Amino acid sequence: MTQAPDHFRQEFIAFAVEKEVLRFGEFKTKAGRLSPYFFNAGLFNDGMSLMKLGEFYAEAIKNSGIEFDMLFGPAYKGITLVASIAIAFAKNGHNYPYAYNRKEAKDHGEGGVIVGSPLKGRVLIIDDVISAGTSVRESVELIAANGANACGVAIAIDRQEKGLGELSAVQEVVKNNQIPVCAIANLNDLLQYLKNKKEMAQNLHAVEAYRQSYGVD
């Protein structure tokens, strides 16, 4: 699997920091850890930033080499993500169908939990980050229940930190579901970005210390 060029990943980190989607401080993670940084894709909350985000995802997916027939975004954050990525691909001549799910089944109108294109073929799951892998597991099961196959996961940032055991949360998803995961950028890219910003030396030291405790290569 091919990774996007370094300058591309650095541009994404800079974009996320500029939009205050990637923040520094002290944040409690789902695992109960105190993290010196936090990434919240829900803060890409205007048309221009969502358009650019979709383009970053599309480029990372293209570079990954993952072959897919359609895109799937789990509710709720995955809904805007998958739509923006489908649009980014369409602008470049690749018109992929996409779908997302409801949290609760609809009992009127078209009914069901799937909105958009019917799930079929090789389905690429879209998410922002992978913490415990719960969202991915539920998506894989939902896709299989509809007669399709999950072929991979695309996320914005790979935190490269331990999940339930010694593997990272992303590595656990790969192992447990037998599917590849690609990311626009990862913790290595974040550290590289911070090293080039003298005014962010304090953040660099905090992130490096956090990686010493929880990091996985």
Domains of the chain: 6-214 (3.40.50.2020)
Contact 127, 77 (CB under 8 A): yes
103-115 pLDDT per residue, tens: 776 555 455 799 9
7 part of the active site: no
Q: Out of 30, 103, 108, 198, which one is annotated catalytic?
A: 108
160-195 pLDDT per residue, tens: 999 888 999 999 999 999 999 999 999 999 999 999
52 part of the active site: no
| Amino acid (1-letter code) at residue 41 | A
Task: Give the β-pairing of 34-39 and 112-116.
Answer: unpaired
Q: Out of 91, 106, 195, 205, which one is annotated catalytic?
A: 106
Residue 40 is predicted with a pLDDT of 92
What tokens were used for 128?
């922002």
- Rounded distance between C-alpha atoms, residue 203 and residue 194, angstroms: 7
